């Protein structure tokens, strides 16, 4: 016994190192705070993109502990200063959000208190906050209070949960899989295809719908496809619309598609990961008419509400459909019976889950909704401003966007246009001041702009225009020396 107690005492001496003293905590906090302040103060002067790879040796795990200051230096040089800078307002590629500071404070508090947000029984307060946020979203999108939802790590997992519910509601399994049909836009986000494979629907039939000149689903074709599939003894199952496509920012005609879905008894899923929260703008509401008809809806607060990465959301009207795959009772969870609210763990593959609701709840409570709405409207106007400037530089533009994603290309007459624009983008990436990504639209290589970072301001767009004008000159020179 004495031996045992001595051993425990010896181990405690070492394991205690994981629990810093008040003084140590103060020191750590101070250093982290200084780092965060310096990062944010200097953010604007950083390039939005640096293509250099990190030094592996600097990041590899070392046998001997290092000091926090040493690690911050390595973190800064090899992580923060390399790659794309998502916190920067000059990130106009993919779908940026920026990351508001008060959400980071919430993450800190969620980490320190380590609330268990998977079940009401464990943290009724945390689960109440998460459900309150979901209720708020139900209100925005016109979902009934009986709908269930989940705060996920992002839009991909949110889409996965929605599609699983659709599968279970319509019992798409066994020989039914290959006969069932899903209707999507060719512009649907690729996470939908991933989700279908993950949930065992890889062999389902996918109909790609024709799009109009604004890259929106043509609904008359949808009806034709459904009727033809019924005639061929197939099983029309689900239609997926996008409330803001990633490539072109288009919002599909949600009301018309909703009506067709109801008429033909299809599950109606809307992916609003990029565009959903633009519904908060009075002048954009009309685009989202009919979104309330969806059986399931995905939005991404780490895009449209400017949070740091790590928060998506899904709403599903049919609770039983969601519970079919996710609700589980195990013996070791018998104490959790009789919970007063829906448990997040019954709506998601996750059991133990980070208390990610706090990172949305705190900013909403601290700032109110107004600055979020103003910021969304600002992004819409900046998109127009950017496009106007590009036009003056001689660029060709994609169609007037519904929201804040658009694209452009230089209609070079001397050289193959795709080649010219690829070279132009290479110069833009090498320049690095403002980050833009590219995509292919109807085989045309185009440069894409996605304006959704909370830190993108008018002066950001001015620098982007300046950079593009400079790179355009470089590209012209490059091709003229070739010829
Ligand atoms: C970003 C995006 C997704 C994927 O969401 P993640 O948060 O990146 O997992 C899905 N659909 C659309 C339309 C998106 O823009």
Report the greatest alpha carbon distance in the chain: 88
Q: What is the pLDDT of residues 221-250, one digit of tens each?
A: 999 999 999 999 999 999 999 999 998 999
Residue 86 confidence (pLDDT)? 93
Residue 24 confidence (pLDDT)? 97
SS3 content of the chain, % helix, strand, coil (to 5): 50, 15, 35
Angle between helical axes of 358-367 and 124-141 (0-180°, round to 10):
70
Residue 337 confidence (pLDDT)? 66
* CA–CA dist 308, 336 (Å, integer): 32
* CA–CA dist 79, 70 (Å, integer): 14
* CA–CA dist 106, 358 (Å, integer): 6
Question: What CATH number was assigned to the domain covering residues 108-367?
Answer: 3.40.640.10
CA atoms within 13 A on the CB side of 92: 31
Six token digits for residue 274: 């990029």
* CA–CA dist 286, 50 (Å, integer): 40
Instruction: Return residue ranges of the chain for CATH 3.90.1150.10.
Output: 370-482
The alpha helices in 43-96, defined as continuous H runs, are: 56-59, 68-75
Which residues in the chain come in under a pLDDT of 50? none
Residue 331 confidence (pLDDT)? 74
* Residue nearest ligand 1's atom 3 by CA: 155
> Are 226 and 264 spatial neighbours (Cβ–Cβ below 8 Å)?
yes
Mutate to test the pocket of ligand 1, among 86, 187, 245, 246 (most ligand atoms within 8 A of CB): 246
Instruction: Return residue ranges of the chain for CATH 3.40.640.10.
Output: 108-367
Query: What pairing do the DSSP bridges indicate for beta strands 148-152 and 296-299?
Result: unpaired
The enclosing H or E element of 165 equals helix 155-169
> Are 430 and 470 spatial neighbours (Cβ–Cβ below 8 Å)?
no
- Other CB atoms closer than 10 Å to residue 370's CB: what's the count? 8
Cβ neighbours for 189, distance < 8 A, ≥ 6 positions apart: 155, 159, 242, 245, 246, 271, 273
- Other CB atoms closer than 10 Å to residue 108's CB: what's the count? 14
Q: What is the pLDDT of residues 183-234, one digit of tens each?
A: 999 999 999 999 999 999 999 999 999 999 999 999 999 999 999 999 999 9
Q: Report residue 267: phi and psi, to 5°.
A: -70, 135
Residue 8 confidence (pLDDT)? 98
Q: CB within 6 Å of ligand 1 — which residues?
A: 95, 154-156, 189, 191, 242, 246, 271, 273-274, 300, 312
Nearest to 376, CA basis, from 435, 274, 285, 454: 454
Would you say the C-alpha torsion 271, 275, 281, 286 has a positive or negative sign?
negative
* CA–CA dist 204, 180 (Å, integer): 6
What atom in ligand 1 is closest to the CA of residue 189? Answer: 11
Ligand 1 centre to CA of 272 (Å) is 8
Domain 370-482 has CATH 3.90.1150.10: yes
> Are 471 and 424 spatial neighbours (Cβ–Cβ below 8 Å)?
yes
What atom in ligand 1 is closest to the CA of residue 242? Answer: 13
> Are 73 and 38 spatial neighbours (Cβ–Cβ below 8 Å)?
no
């Amino acid at each position: 016994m004495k031996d045992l107690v001595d051993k425990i005492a010896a181990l405690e001496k070492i394991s205690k190192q994981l629990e810093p003293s008040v003084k140590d905590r103060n020191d750590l906090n101070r250093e982290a705070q200084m780092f965060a302040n310096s990062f944010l103060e200097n953010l604007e002067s950083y390039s939005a993109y640096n293509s250099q790879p990190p030094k592996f040796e600097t990041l590899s795990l070392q046998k001997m502990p290092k000091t926090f200051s040493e690690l911050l230096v390595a973190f800064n040089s090899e992580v923060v200063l390399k790659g794309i800078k998502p916190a920067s307002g000059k990130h106009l590629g993919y779908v940026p959000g920026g990351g508001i500071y008060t959400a980071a404070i919430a993450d800190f508090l969620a980490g320190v208190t380590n609330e268990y947000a998977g079940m009401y029984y464990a943290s009724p307060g945390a689960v109440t906050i998460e459900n309150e946020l979901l209720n708020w979203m139900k209100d925005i999108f016109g979902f009934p209070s009986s709908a269930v939802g989940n705060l996920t790590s992002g839009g991909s997992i949110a889409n996965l949960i929605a599609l699983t519910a659709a599968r279970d509601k319509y019992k798409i399994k066994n020989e039914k899989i290959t006969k069932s049909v899903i209707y999507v836009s060719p512009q649907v986000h690729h996470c939908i295809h991933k989700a279908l494979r993950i949930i065992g629907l890889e062999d389902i039939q996918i109909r790609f719908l024709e799009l109009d000149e604004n890259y929106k689903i043509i609904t008359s074709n949808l009806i034709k496809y459904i009727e033809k599939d019924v005639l061929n003894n197939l099983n029309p199952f689900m239609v997926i619309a996008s409330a803001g496509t990633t490539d072109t920012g288009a919002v599909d005609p949600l009301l018309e598609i909703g009506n067709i879905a109801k008429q033909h008894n299809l599950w109606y899923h809307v992916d609003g990961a990029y565009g959903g929260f633009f519904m908060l703008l009075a002048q954009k509401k009309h685009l989202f008419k009919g979104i309330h008809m969806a059986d399931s809806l995905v939005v991404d607060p780490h895009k449209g509400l400017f949070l740091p990465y790590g928060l998506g959301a899904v709403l599903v009207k049919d609770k039983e459909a969601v519970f079919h795959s996710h609700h589980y009772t195990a013996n070791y969870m018998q104490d959790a019976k009789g919970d007063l609210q829906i448990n997040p763990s019954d709506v998601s593959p996750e059991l133990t889950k980070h208390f990610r609701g706090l990172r949305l709840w705190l900013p909403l409570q601290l700032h109110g909704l107004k600055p979020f709405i103003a910021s969304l409207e600002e992004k819409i106007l900046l998109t127009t401003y950017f496009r106007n400037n590009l036009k003056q530089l001689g660029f060709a533009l994609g169609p007037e966007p519904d929201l804040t994603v658009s694209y452009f290309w230089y209609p070079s007459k001397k050289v193959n246009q795709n080649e010219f624009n690829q070279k132009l983008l290479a110069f833009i990436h090498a320049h690095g001041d403002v980050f833009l990504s590219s995509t292919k639209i109807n085989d045309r290589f185009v440069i894409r702009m996605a304006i959704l970072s909370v830190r993108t301001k008018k002066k950001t767009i001015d620098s982007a225009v300046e950079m593009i004008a400079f790179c355009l000159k470089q590209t012209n020179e490059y091709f003229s020396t070739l010829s």
